[in-house]
Amino acid sequence: MEENIKKYHEILKKLCILYIEDEENIRKNMKKVLLLLCNSVYEASDIKNAKKILEKNRVDIIISDINLPEENGLDFIEDLRQIDKKIPVILLSAYTETNYLLKATKLKLIDYLTKPVDFDTLNNALIKCAEDIYDNGMFILNFENGIEYNVLNKELKDINKKEIKLTSKELLLLDYLTKNNSRVISHDELKTNIWEDYFEATDSALKNLLNKLRKKIGKESISNISGVGYKL
């Protein structure tokens, strides 16, 4: 049991959380706590900003308050479940009203926590999220010909589970495409985030790097949207 908890803590460290809370002080303090447990935290004060974050970034876990301005957390998760039935969700509320609880039970939540939330309760809920991600293989991306990419360990393996070596630039490119797999990424954005030296970030260098990565994960795994950019 203790080994499993340690394993899930290690997984949690590599995950990204979206935290939605409209009260700034609570949001800032909670973010500090969450960063003790995971790799990165995106924060949003309302659903509109939360949706923008989801469009542009890979998010592994969502933690949302229910009572938010304009659109509440329950409605947001209900809409989200139409397109993503698996992402682990924790809902927070200062209330335990029956109508909230009844609606929440239909949303496949990992947990429903009453505010204020203590560290142990939050930690346990996040461990459940990591366990859910692990059990559902949500950290594995499947490419052509049985090739798999482990997002957490940053390992690429063929159908026989033999590791496919990636250069540092290939890994940077694959990781950036993975984190932003919900959108098309422009040529300039890729060059800015892959190369530190502006003069090395040429169109030909990017094209060459993309071709090398495609040979390893499959030609069709990276789409070229003409005149716009690339998408995993």
pLDDT, tens digit, 9 for 90 and up, residues 21-42: 999 999 999 999 999 999 789 9
Residue 141: closest CA among 61, 207, 218: 218
Confidence bin at 169 (pLDDT 50/70/90): very high
What angle separates helix 119-135 from helix 2-13, to the nearest 10 degrees?
Answer: 90
Tens digits of residue pLDDT in 135-167? 887 788 888 888 988 887 888 998 898 999 999
pTM higher than the cut 0.85: no
The DSSP line for 56-67 is: HS--SEEEEES-
- Cα 137 from chain centroid? 13
Cα→Cα distances 180→32, 57, 68, Å: 24, 5, 26
Judged by DSSP in three states, 20 sits in strand
